[in-house]
């Protein structure tokens, strides 16, 4: 019986060590699309200042200032006044300010007033865009988790 208990404890220790290793791996190589890295600013909420996210940020409300995240979605009804920096940026709402993104997509309900610096840009029918578009191979440097300031 004691041998069985020791083998079971050894097996449990290996499982715990494996789980701890996986948690460390996820912390080092954090996937911005992972649900616990997702944030949203809800409709009816207005924020003035600088917002920095390490994963994805979805904007349904109103922000004045600066917004930085790996993935930014400005949803229909969302309003951004200021600069936006993102690796991936999807706009279906309103933006008045500069946009810096590696992959930028303006949806059919997007209204953008300002310049866009991008690696790739897609503009759907009915989107409104007033400003200059400049292709830049490195529109933004994709920051690591600890580098976003």
Token pair in block for residue 131: 């400003």
- DSSP of 79-139, one letter per residue? EEEEEEEEEEEEESSEEES-EEEEEEEE-TT-EEES-EEEEEEEE-TT-EEES-EEE-TTS
Are 58 and 96 in a shared domain?
Answer: yes
CA trace torsion 78, 75, 124, 98 (10° rounding): 50
Token pair in block for residue 87: 């690796």
Are 14 and 60 in a shared domain?
Answer: no
Q: How many CB atoms lie within 10 A of CB 115?
A: 14
Full domain range(s) for residue 16? 1-30
What's the pLDDT score for residue 8?
53
Are 20 and 67 in a shared domain?
Answer: no
Are 3 and 61 in a shared domain?
Answer: no
Are 42 and 23 in a shared domain?
Answer: no
Are 65 and 94 in a shared domain?
Answer: yes
Are 90 and 26 in a shared domain?
Answer: no
What's the pLDDT score for residue 26?
39
Are 44 and 102 in a shared domain?
Answer: yes
Does some domain include residue 143? no
What is the mean pLDDT of the segment spanning 106-130?
96
Of residues 51 and 24, more confidently modeled = 51
Does some domain include residue 69? yes
What's the pLDDT score for residue 71?
94
Q: Report, in angstroms and rounded to the nearest whole number, the Rg of the chain calculated over CA atoms.
A: 21
Are 122 and 90 in a shared domain?
Answer: yes
Are 71 and 121 in a shared domain?
Answer: yes
Are 74 and 106 in a shared domain?
Answer: yes
Tens-digit pLDDT profile for residues 15-34: 444 444 443 443 444 444 44
What's the pLDDT score for residue 33?
45
The count of domains in the chain is 2
What's the pLDDT score for residue 113?
98
**Are the C-beta atoms of residues 65 and 45 closer than 8 Å to each other?**
no
What's the pLDDT score for residue 136?
87
Token pair in block for residue 122: 């897609």
Does some domain include residue 140? no
Instruction: Give the span between the Cα atoms of 112 and 90, in whole angstroms.
Output: 12
What's the pLDDT score for residue 38?
85
């Amino acid at each position: 019986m004691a041998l069985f208990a020791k083998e079971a404890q050894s097996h449990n220790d290996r499982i715990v060590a494996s789980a701890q290793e996986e948690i460390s791996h996820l912390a080092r190589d954090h996937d911005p699309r992972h649900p616990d890295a997702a944030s949203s600013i809800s409709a009816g909420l207005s924020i003035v200042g600088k917002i920095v996210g390490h994963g994805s940020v979805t904007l349904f409300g109103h922000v004045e200032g600066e917004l930085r995240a790996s993935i930014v979605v400005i949803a229909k009804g969302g309003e951004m006044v200021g600069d936006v920096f993102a690796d991936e940026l999807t706009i279906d709402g309103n933006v008045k300010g500069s946009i810096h993104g590696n992959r930028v997509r303006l949806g059919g309900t997007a209204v953008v007033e300002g310049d866009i610096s991008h690696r790739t840009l897609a503009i759907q029918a009915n989107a409104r865009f007033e400003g200059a578009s400049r292709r830049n191979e490195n529109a933004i440097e994709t920051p690591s988790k600890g580098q976003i300031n």
